[in-house]
Amino acid sequence: MGRILDQLEFLGIAGVGLFGDGYLNITIGLVVPIIGYLYYEDHKYSVPTIQQDTIKGALALGMIVGQISFGLFGDALGRHKIYGKELIITILGNFLLIMMPWKHFGHGDVVAWMFVFRFVTGLGIGGDYPMTSSIAAENDRFGSRAKLVLTVFSFIGLGGFTGALVFLILLAAFKSAINADPNHLQWVWRLQFGLGLIPLLATLYARLTMKESKPYEQYVAKETGLASKNKRGLGEQLQDFRDYFSHWKNARTLFAVCAAWFLFDIAFYGINLNQSIVLTRIGFGKGKTPFETLWNIAVGNLIVDIAGYLPGFYLAIFLPDRIGRVRQQWILSAVVAVLYAIWAGVTDHTSTGGLITIFTLSQLFLNMGPNATTFLLPVEVFPTRVRATAHGIAAASGKAGAVLTAFAFGTITDRIGLKGVLGLFAGIMALCAAVSLLIPETKGKSIAEIEAEAVYSNDRTPVIESDNFSSEIGSDEIGIHEAKGAATNLRSQREFA
């Protein structure tokens, strides 16, 4: 019982930041139509395409900066010193967003306010990616690294689902008030974001006081003198990064995980940031009144979440240790490419129910496959010294794809229609499947074995590619001497130079 409680406590502390990502990021697609009703009366109560894209893309821009900077500092200074700071920034940015003035705000004022403080929120949410993924990968509470990392990652799905459910509840609670005066929608969107702060505030102290991970202590802190007067800083971290990625095989792997995440996020956020648009185009978001329109969008969003989005996250947890990470990524990316192509082909000839079914299936396979593995692989294929930095770069590459689709989706959809956009996404997911084959498989490898393979000098030990390794439980001791040897070799060469 004690072990189970310990596992649940860790999941709650580590997962809350990603919960915030799902809650605050995905649900912006539900809030933007409300902003139209409140501030864009002279535009037929609809936020123009460019302004929509700016509001939706702000968080992703902030995430790029947060992912790279927190990843770098997390490797340079340690997980313990950095963890929790990203949550403070997330809370601050979201709180300031809610404080946007209610009245006498022009169009430019609304967009500027939401852009700036969603950008700040993104800094914190972005920083959570490399920090939480590294801490989860370097923890042995579950006995399976992949299951722990992906269980923590599934909190994004839980956050998205919770956001959709809260939105529906708030609409129901304010139904009569909204029908009497649409300006009461102010309460809906502000409470929507405000309630998302509760779990973040509840776990902030626990994050700030979390202990350093054992692999970081073993392979970085002790080996580089972090506990002594020779402090490790950004200079040493950047040198480790250059040493490791000066090898072509390592650089190729970094390129592959970055490219896969970039391509995937174009399609993923193209759909998820614009669910209200997608649902309206397939006939599920239209209503005679503001309330009816928002209610239909909320119901359609919740159906997709329950049937496809959320189950995909949980099914993904059990696949990596069975079929392998790389195989999971490329097969399911290819499946999604086919589904998008079918969706594009039948858009004009299928009922709303049929289109919702295809939408739901595509969400299911997206989350079962590349959504999970693009998060998992970058934290497994690299050693401890560069793990958070490399994961931050890969995640930032993904968010670059999210920014691209956030700023371009509305414009492209206006020009070529949803059918054309879906055809484009089908091709992008096919490319994602292809580039996934460049990533080495990590199934069966322990942290110690990954560490033992990491050589930062020109005298490089060949990468072991066999899957016949010891199990995760207790196997970290196997490669400790080899890993220490690699680190000692690095230090010796630097001292000699």
Q: Could you give the CA distance from residue 365 to residue 371 in angstroms, rounded to a whole number? A: 9
How does residue 382 score in pLDDT terms, banded at 50, 70 and 90? very high
Q: Could you give the CA distance from residue 13 to residue 70 in angstroms, rounded to a whole number? A: 18
Over residues 255-292, the pLDDT tens digits come to 999 999 999 999 888 876 666 666 666 566 667 788 88
pLDDT at 488: 45
How does residue 493 score in pLDDT terms, banded at 50, 70 and 90? very low
Instruction: Map residue 390 onto helix, strand or coil.
Output: helix
pLDDT at 358: 86
Which amino acid appears at position 57 of this protein?
A: G
- Whether 363 and 302 have beta carbons less than 8 Å apart is answered as no
pLDDT at 456: 55
Tokens in use for 23? 């809650």
Q: Which residues contact 188 (CB under 8 A, 6 or more apart)?
A: 34, 167, 170, 171, 174, 178
% of the chain at pLDDT higher than 90: 56
- Whether 312 and 363 have beta carbons less than 8 Å apart is answered as yes
Residue 349 has pLDDT above 90, yes or no: no
Q: Could you give the CA distance from residue 373 to residue 450 in angstroms, rounded to a whole number? A: 18
Give the CA dihedral 276, 282, 283, 284, nearest 10 degrees: -50
DSSP track, 188-202: HHHHHHHHTHHHHHH
Mean pLDDT (whole number) for 392-406: 92
Q: Which residues contact 103 (CB under 8 A, 6 or more apart)?
A: none
pLDDT at 370: 96
Cα 134 vs. chain centroid, distance in angstroms? 14
- For residue 183, give the nearest of 76, 23, 38, 13 by alpha carbon: 38
Q: How many helices (H) and strands (E) does the chain have?
A: 25, 0
Domain 2-210+234-443 in CATH 3.30.300.130: no
**Which residue is listed with tokens 């080899």?**
482
Query: Cα dist. 321→126, 379, 465, 466 in Å?
Result: 27, 15, 16, 15
- For residue 115, give the nearest of 195, 205, 53 by alpha carbon: 53
% of the chain at pLDDT higher than 70: 86
pLDDT at 464: 37
Mean pLDDT of the chain: 85
Q: Please return the burial class of 242, using the count of CB atoms within 10 Å of its CB with bins 0-12, 13-18 and 19+.
A: exposed
Q: Which residues contact 165 (CB under 8 A, 6 or more apart)?
A: 302
pLDDT at 357: 84
- Whether 100 and 110 have beta carbons less than 8 Å apart is answered as yes
Q: Which of 36-50, 143-157, 309-323, 360-374 has the lowest mean pLDDT?
A: 36-50
Q: Could you give the CA distance from residue 483 to residue 384 in angstroms, rounded to a whole number? A: 10
Q: Could you give the CA distance from residue 14 to residue 83 in angstroms, rounded to a whole number? A: 10
Mean pLDDT (whole number) for 28-36: 87
Residue 459 has pLDDT above 50, yes or no: no
pLDDT at 279: 66
- Whether 304 and 440 have beta carbons less than 8 Å apart is answered as no
Q: Which of 77-91, 232-246, 364-378 has the lowest mean pLDDT?
A: 232-246
Tokens in use for 111? 């967009």
- Whether 126 and 66 have beta carbons less than 8 Å apart is answered as yes
Q: Could you give the CA distance from residue 71 to residue 94 in angstroms, rounded to a whole number? A: 22
How does residue 225 score in pLDDT terms, banded at 50, 70 and 90? low
Mean pLDDT (whole number) for 492-497: 36
376 DSSP assignment: H
Rg (CA), the chain: 23
Structural element, H or E, at residue 10: helix 2-21
Q: Could you give the CA distance from residue 63 to residue 71 in angstroms, rounded to a whole number? A: 12
Mean pLDDT (whole number) for 14-32: 86
User: H helices of 381-457, where?
Assistant: 384-436, 447-453
Q: Could you give the CA distance from residue 52 to residue 66 in angstroms, rounded to a whole number? A: 22
Over residues 160-210, the pLDDT tens digits come to 899 989 999 999 999 999 999 999 999 999 999 999 999 999 999 999 999
Return the higher-pLDDT residue of 480 and 201.
201
Residue 363 has pLDDT above 90, yes or no: no
Domain ranges of the chain: 2-210+234-443
Mean pLDDT (whole number) for 440-444: 93
- Whether 234 and 372 have beta carbons less than 8 Å apart is answered as no
pLDDT at 180: 92
